[in-house]
Structure 1
Amino acid sequence: MRRNAVLLIASRAIRSLAFGYLTFIVPLYLKSIGFSAVIIGLYFLVATISSAILVLISGFLGDMIGRRDALIIMSSLFIISMVIFSITNNKVLLFLTSVFGTTTGSMGGGGAGGGPVTPLQTSLLADNTELNERTRIFSLTTSISLLSSLLGSLISYAILSLGFSDLVLFRISLVLSIISLMLLVLISRDKPRIKSLSINDILPRRSSKPITRIAIAGSLGSLGLGMVTPLLPLWFRLFLNASEIEINEVYTASYVVSIILTLMARRIEVFMGRVRAISILRSISVFLFIVMALMPVFMIDAVLYVIRVTLYTITIPLRQSLSMDLMDENERARGLSITGLARRVPYGLGSTIAGLLMNYAEFSLSMVLGGGIALLDPILYYIFFRHYDDRSSQV
């Protein structure tokens, strides 16, 4: 494995330590200091819109100045967010962290992805791997990231069990984000891909067809997932009467199972075909939201959630590898920015709808509707790219 790839994976692993608990700590913390479910939903809407704008900027910036330099710039935003969470409980300042777009997603099986660094990380990793090893490297990267998230979840479990406050966790996140940034500085600088600022050079024309199709499918999937995923910890806490530690245990279990099975992504790809695996596993994954809503018992929903996250996570390296194969090498960062924008705005809209429904004790309705809408994503993926498996099997 190339040195740059190792550094990228290490940086992501360090950052994932924090996201192992921020996924559920942030909404619970905001609730604990007086934010209503509607305001929390609005927080995620603003965060997702900001993330969408930053995602679009990051990919184009990466192809203009170099993907490594742009990644360093975008990673700095997470540090700013953690500084604010670490030093104050001022509601205005905390709400302002939403504009940095760095707290909207992690490895928790969401639909919006990991923020503005994602297009740059993925395209840089593709640049530093060979075509025949790409799925394996993406699978390994995802599993390592999940392992880090698991360790982060275990660390937070220990800290919460000892009676420490959420502020300790935010301060640990700050330290981790600084270390992650330092690793990125060691990566070799890459050349800009955009030669001029003309429209013909800026727009990713050679990859326009797959970008459009991925964006359409992803936008519907993220709208549905946004109606469930961001506020799911509150579903467990407020509707199913689970404690914060019990919720932590559920997320920890989802990481453990996902780490093991995601390493099998390459074998699943060979057995089922990349597109068929994505379509089938994600269909089952989002359908489980509907089942969870119809069976509102904590132990049952906890098990279903672990299965759901695992199935979703297995498809992440498959989907990343497919996107990299479909897009032109020099347009990958921009292509991922556009598809990321198409996912994040609907995700934020979905979280706002979820907040409103939760405020009226109708979150189960949001889960049913969200699951139904999210099913369109894997269905369209199969319709758009079903012939890809046939072509790849002939290579």
Structure 2
Amino acid sequence: MPQTLNSPAAEDQGALSPVSSLYAARALRDFGDGFVAVLLPVYLAAIGLDVFQIGVVATTALLGSALMTLAIGFLGHRIDRRTVLIAASGLMVATGLAFNQSASYGAVLLVAFCGTINPSSGTVSIFVPLEHAALSHLVADKARTAAFARYSLMGALAAAVGALAAMGPDLLADFGVSRLAALEGMFALYAVLGIAGGVFYSRIPRSDASGEAQPSSALGPSRGIVYRMAALFSIDAFAGGFAVQSLMALWLFSRFGLSLSAAGLFFFWSGVLSAFSFPVAAWLSRRIGRVNTMVFTHIPSSLCLILAAVVPSLEAALGLLLVRSALSQMDVPTRSSFVMAVVTPPERAAAASITSVPRSLAAALSPVLAGALFAAGYEAWPFILCGALKILYDFALLQAFRHIKPPEEQ
């Protein structure tokens, strides 16, 4: 029988239970993504890349991640999740070590495509579908949304602290360390986090220990609803790609002259607000349902982003962006839980991957478009387009899935 969050096995193993180990690995990974998302445009500019090339690097990273995640989706029902998560941690180590040695545009593109660098504050990576399937197996159905809320909370808090750690290069400058050397050191730290994450992943039970029958194909009876979700989620991701955290940081640097330290502090509080919205989302979903929670928190956050793009002062823009942060991620645990709830257990890895891949592919298209708009002087337009497209997505999602209830909501 799978362990649940309240099972004796989980309690006996304490902080190092499989569920806690999964949370810890997620936290380490998101801590690394938190500072990389802020430092990536700074590092790329320091080695001579222009704004458009930075957008291309972000697109390349998202595209490579999408292709790897797609492969995992079609093979996930045949391979051991723990083994692949440990291997992905090894790729994270290689990425960090290679990135801080990459000084040419071509080398940066290669590492971005093949590695795990994440230019977004969201979790677009090879790790996500495997973690979702593993977590869903380890908890009871009624505890699933709360478990995903805790999983998202841990990741978001870690990402917030990671954004704060992006102040590191400025602090090291006070001790005579050059900006470029400090940035390279942060990518070395990213590699160390990959090693630690692999240790925690090693405590997750093997997939074949679950006793689940292995299906002949990745998706079976749930194929239709998974493809419908994937199509809609891709619209949301394409919109989100216009405002990935690296591009948001670049916009704040160029429009308002925000310092790296101030940007790190802002993204820290932004991440904290996002993190504490996850338990609220779990509470709200029990009262109005998961789909309604996704939609009715998303729309106001998109309006805040549009307004932030056009207000004239830094204070007003940051205030609106913080309100957006408190609302924009409340769909994350509810969406993950909804996907896992409406498919059969053997389909979960494939469903998580196939709903993530179109998101990754769609999100890979928009940063380069945003970079082109930035280069052309239309710096506000990426965020206006992001907000408008997300609002359209929310109405489409409500129309398509408002009558579909997971078993625990019926």
Separation in 2, partners of 1:125, 1:26:
30
Q: What does residue 270 of structure 1 align with?
A: 286
Question: Deviations along 1:85-104, whole A, 9 cap, x unmatched?
Answer: 23443443222111125223
Which residue of 329, 332, 336 corresponds with 1:313? 329
Tell me, what secondary structure is at the counterpart of 2:116?
coil
Deviation, structure 1 residue 105: 4.8
Matched AA of 1:18: G
Which residue of 47, 53, 62 corresponds with 2:61? 47
Separation in 2, partners of 1:282, 1:242:
27
Which residue of 199, 205, 211 corresponds with 2:226? 211
Deviation, structure 1 residue 284: 1.7
Query: Does the CA contact (< 8 Å) of 1:58 and 1:74 recur in 2?
Result: no
Matched AA of 1:218: F
Separation in 2, partners of 1:194, 1:37:
50
Q: What does residue 198 of structure 2 align with?
A: 181
Separation in 1, partners of 2:228, 2:68:
21
Q: What does residue 149 of structure 1 align with?
A: 159
| Identity in percent | 24
Matched AA of 2:240: L
Deviation, structure 1 residue 59: 2.4
Which residue of 344, 356, 373 corresponds with 2:372? 356
Q: What does residue 277 of structure 2 align with?
A: 261
Question: Deviations along 1:144-180, whole A, 9 cap, x unmatched?
Answer: 1122223323333255324252122112111111110
Separation in 2, partners of 1:298, 1:161:
23
User: Which segments of 5 or more consecutive residues in structure 1 lack a partner in the other structure?
Assistant: none
Question: Deviations along 1:313-358, whole A, 9 cap, x unmatched?
Answer: 2221111111100111101111121111211111111111101111
Q: What does residue 27 of structure 2 align with?
A: 13
Separation in 2, partners of 1:297, 1:21:
26
Tell me, what secondary structure is at the counterpart of 1:102?
coil
- Mapping for residues 104-119 of structure 1, pairs under 5 Å: 104-105=118-119, 108=121, 110=122, 113-119=123-129
TM-score, with length taken from structure 2: 0.88
Q: What does residue 339 of structure 1 align with?
A: 355
Q: What does residue 140 of structure 1 align with?
A: 150
Separation in 1, partners of 2:132, 2:87:
16
Q: What does residue 47 of structure 2 align with?
A: 33
Which residue of 3, 18, 22 corresponds with 2:36? 22
Separation in 2, partners of 1:326, 1:66:
23
Matched AA of 2:233: G
Runs of 4+ in 1 over 6 A off after TM superposition: none
Q: What does residue 59 of structure 1 align with?
A: 73
Question: Deviations along 1:199-254, whole A, 9 cap, x unmatched?
Answer: xx224121112211211111111111112224111110112211111111110111
Q: What does residue 343 of structure 2 align with?
A: 327
Separation in 2, partners of 1:312, 1:24:
19
Query: Does the CA contact (< 8 Å) of 1:101 and 1:115 recur in 2?
Result: no
Q: What does residue 394 of structure 2 align with?
A: 378
Matched AA of 1:220: I
Separation in 2, partners of 1:54, 1:36:
27
Tell me, what secondary structure is at the counterpart of 1:64?
coil
Separation in 2, partners of 1:258, 1:187:
27
Separation in 1, partners of 2:119, 2:49:
19
Q: Which moved more, 1:353-362 or 1:16-25?
A: 16-25
Which residue of 225, 243, 266 corresponds with 1:228? 243
Q: What does residue 202 of structure 1 align with?
A: 217
- Mapping for residues 93-108 of structure 1, pairs under 5 Å: 93-105=107-119, 108=121
Aligned residue pairs: how many? 386
Q: Which moved more, 1:205-214 or 1:185-194?
A: 185-194
Deviation, structure 1 residue 55: 0.6
Which residue of 231, 243, 263 corresponds with 2:259? 243
Separation in 1, partners of 2:114, 2:314:
33
Tell me, what secondary structure is at the counterpart of 1:63?
coil
User: Which segments of 5 or more consecutive residues in structure 2 lack a partner in the other structure?
Assistant: 11-16
Deviation, structure 1 residue 5: 1.3
Q: Which moved more, 1:261-270 or 1:39-48?
A: 261-270
Q: 1:167 to 1:144 in 2, by over 3 A?
A: same
Query: Does the CA contact (< 8 Å) of 2:59 and 2:364 recur in 1?
Result: yes
Which residue of 112, 121, 124 corresponds with 2:131? 121
Deviation, structure 1 residue 79: 1.4
TM-score, with length taken from structure 1: 0.91
Separation in 2, partners of 1:84, 1:310:
35
Separation in 1, partners of 2:398, 2:298:
11
Deviation, structure 1 residue 391: 7.2
Q: What does residue 300 of structure 1 align with?
A: 316
Query: Does the CA contact (< 8 Å) of 1:240 and 1:296 recur in 2?
Result: no
Q: Which moved more, 1:368-377 or 1:352-361?
A: 368-377
Q: CA RMSD in A?
A: 2.1
Q: What does residue 299 of structure 2 align with?
A: 283
